[in-house]
């Protein structure tokens, strides 16, 4: 893998971590149960995506 490709992977991992953090913060602020659950599900999905990308390395 080239240096540039590694930078792309690092960038993708960083984005997934950012999305996880944002979903977690939003879920903690939402009062509606259905929306809160959706945000928590999205956080979990981004964790899974992060792990999938990381496992490819």
- Tens of pLDDT, residues 4-22: 999 999 999 999 999 999 9
Check residue 42 and give its pLDDT: 98
* pLDDT above 90 (res 25): yes
Which residues 6+ apart lie within 8 Å of 53 measured at CB?
Answer: 9, 12, 13, 16
Res. 56 pLDDT band, cuts 50 70 90: confident
- Give, to the nearest 10 degrees, the angle between helix 3-29 and helix 33-56: 160
């Amino acid at each position: 893998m080239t240096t540039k490709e590694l930078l792309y992977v690092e960038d993708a991992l960083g984005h997934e971590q950012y999305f996880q953090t944002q979903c977690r913060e939003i879920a903690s602020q939402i009062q509606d149960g259905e929306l809160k659950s959706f945000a928590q599900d999205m956080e979990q999905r981004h964790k899974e995506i992060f792990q999938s990308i990381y496992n490819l390395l």
